[in-house]
A and B are shown apart, each in its own frame.
Chain A
Amino acid sequence: DIQMTQSPSTLSASVGDRVTITCRASQSISRWLAWYQQKPGKAPKLLIYKASSLESGVPSRFSGSGSGTEFTLTISSLQPDDFATYYCQQYNNYPLTFGGGTKVEIK
């Protein structure tokens, strides 16, 4: 199984900050990586797919990059609505696997 490791697990930031979250895969997944945002008590929401493609309706301050085993999610200017937990997921093969999550908190 492919292991996905996210860092950091918690991130404290202020509105307007540039935020970067890293996701590492235990083996190459090409660009088959998605990023999701989850708020408390809600279902996850797709933000980025195929490592860098922005899902329709997602603000352009979100961006993704990477390939192979190293990936990043960047929020260019953190907004109040962005305080949430973020997960990466590989869909290169089954079983699909998620990273452990990164909680973005208000500093």
Chain B
Amino acid sequence: EVQLVESGGGLVLPGGSLRLSCAASGFTFSSYAMSWVRQAPGMGLEWVSAISGSGGYTYYADSVKGRFTISRDNSKNTLYLQINSLRAEDTAVYYCAKGSEQWLAKTDYWGQGTLVTVSS
């Protein structure tokens, strides 16, 4: 059974930093692309970033480029999102999501999400 468990969310001051983690199990982690998708309170889904199965390719939404860094440790079956220079508009539930192939593909499984709140 595929399981994705996010952690690392919380309350952070504007301009602060946070590192989100996603522990994966139930599949061969290194064989699949992974993404982060966020959802602001009461709003729709916004794709944030993706990383290929090998970790060699990454892509970012324009809204986070230069502030967010996606990475993965295939030896630990863990996905990360380093978030810097946080803004109020980054407040959202952040979902870890599994792609169905090594790179560009549909998302077939989602974690339960971790809430990031940016506020003074």
Contacts and interface: CB of A to CB of B under 8 A. Distances in A.
Asked if chains A and B come from one complex, the reply is yes
B111 A100 contact: no
A101 interface: yes
- Chain B interface size, under 10 / 10 to 19 / 20 to 34 / 35 or more: 20 to 34
B108 A55 contact: yes
Contacts of A101: 44-45
A58 to B, nearest CB: 12
Contact of B113 (A43, A45, A93, A96): A43
Nearest to B95: A43
B47 A95 contact: yes
B102 to A, nearest CB: 13
Given A94-B59, A96-B35, A43 B110 contact: yes
Interface string B82-104: 00000000000001000010001
A9 to B, nearest CB: 10
A65 to B, nearest CB: 17
Given A43-B110, A43-B112, A43-B113, A94 B45 contact: no
B116 interface: no
A38 B59 CA distance: 25
A34 interface: yes
B106 interface: yes
Interface in B28-64: 35, 44-47, 50, 59-62
17 contacts: A1-B62, A32-B106, A34-B107, A44-B95, A44-B110, A46-B109, A87-B45, A89-B45, A92-B104, A95-B47, A95-B59, A95-B60, A96-B35, A96-B47, A98-B46, A98-B47, A100-B44
Given A38-B45, A98-B44, 19 more contacts: A36-B45, A43-B95, A43-B110, A43-B113, A44-B107, A44-B110, A46-B106, A46-B108, A87-B44, A91-B107, A93-B104, A94-B50, A95-B47, A96-B50, A97-B47, A98-B45, A100-B44, A101-B44, A101-B45
Interface of A: 1, 32, 34, 36, 38, 42-46, 49-50, 55, 87, 89, 91-101
